[in-house]
A and B are shown apart, each in its own frame.
Chain A
Amino acid sequence: MTELDLTGVPCPMNWVRTRLALEPLPAGERLEVVLDRGEPLESVPRSAREDGHEVELDGNRVTIVKR
């Protein structure tokens, strides 16, 4: 599992970083991102779902399963 610490990284740059980290991963691979609470934690998981990925939340740790 790849991990990405995005605390302190505002929207939409955190989503840009997340997308770039997802890009080389094979389908089904998991990416764990750590996000600030508030807008990042609301917006990044939503954006990931809108792109078709599976998303699991655990506090401010978000696991994205690449579609």
Chain B
Amino acid sequence: MTLSDPEIERYSRQLVLPEWSGEAQERLRSASAIVVGAGALGSPAALYLVAAGVGTVGVVDDGTVELSNLHRQPLHFTPDLDLPKVTTAAIKLRVLNPEVQVEEYQVRLEEANADAIVAGAGVVLDCTDNFDTRYLVNDTCCAQGVPFVSGAVLGFAGQVMTIVPGRSACYRCAFATPPPAGAVPSCREAGVLGATAGIVGSIQALEALKLLTGIGSPLLDRILQLDALSMEQTLVATERGADCPACARVPAAAQSV
């Protein structure tokens, strides 16, 4: 199905990109993305995916909106306090772009539900704030051969890594184990500016759009590290672990990208 006139107008500023095309836009429209976490990273990521016209966007979060969330989570507004994040997120996303099918998963991603939520997704965005879920996203996506984009923020430090299972290093290849339990961040490390998280979430959305359309070079086998205070960015090379328990046995042929 070709693009409608309103679609052509809505997406005109990306359709004129030399790297983009009507075909890329149609690919996006028939694609789906899952955003795990509707917080500081998931808010900007979901907004940009929906605005760009990804056909189906699922948002996974079991939390409710708190006053201390609002400085960094632009999907949630002051009147949304105490409401489920997926509900307030879906309302904004549907108003932003009614062409997009927004799916609400008001659950915490867990081993029991991860397979079903990730199944069939074109891309997954790991916008979580804890290592348990991060490794669960990694292992589930690797087992199912679903590409995903991992993002994290701590203070002014940001990190993004894109993973195509079977083809590039996964999160476990780069970080074999979570930090020891004793290394829980102290209170002062819990600080973050919304704008810093916004950069990281935006990069995650851009990486997902690149994966879904096939344009450009995603952050495969490279970890982008950002120091937002100095704005210095570093690309750290990684490689697949031959014995990685998550991805060593994933056949590259399973990949669509």
Residues of A within 8 A of B (CB): 11-16, 39, 42-44, 46-47, 50-51
Q: How far is the CA of A13 from the CA of B187 in the complex (A)?
A: 8
Q: Does B178 contact A (CB under 8 A)?
A: no
Closest to B191 in A: A12
Contact partners of A11 in chain B: CB under 8 A: 187, 190
Q: Does B188 contact A (CB under 8 A)?
A: yes
Contact partners of B177 in chain A: CB under 8 A: none
Q: Does B184 contact A (CB under 8 A)?
A: yes
Q: How far is the CA of A37 from the CA of B189 in the complex (A)?
A: 20
Q: Interface readout for B171-214 with A: 1 if CB under 8 Å, 0 if not?
A: 00000000000001011111100000000000000000000000
Q: Does B68 contact A (CB under 8 A)?
A: yes
Majority DSSP secondary structure for residues of B touching A = helix
Which listed residue (B68, B184, B187) contacts A44, Cβ 8 A?
Answer: B187
Residues of B within 8 A of A (CB): 68, 184, 186-191
Majority DSSP secondary structure for residues of A touching B = helix
Which listed residue (A15, A43, A50, A51) contacts B184, Cβ 8 A?
Answer: A43
* Among A13, A15, A39: residue with most chain B CB under 10 A: A15
Query: Are A15 and B188 closer than 8 Å at their CB atoms?
Result: yes
Query: Are A46 and B186 closer than 8 Å at their CB atoms?
Result: yes
Q: How far is the CA of A43 from the CA of B187 in the complex (A)?
A: 6
Query: Are B190 and A51 closer than 8 Å at their CB atoms?
Result: no
Q: How far is the CA of A64 from the CA of B244 in the complex (A)?
A: 46
Query: Are B188 and A47 closer than 8 Å at their CB atoms?
Result: yes
**Between-chain CB contacts (< 8 Å), 9 pairs:** A11-B190, A12-B188, A12-B191, A15-B190, A42-B184, A43-B184, A46-B187, A47-B187, A50-B186
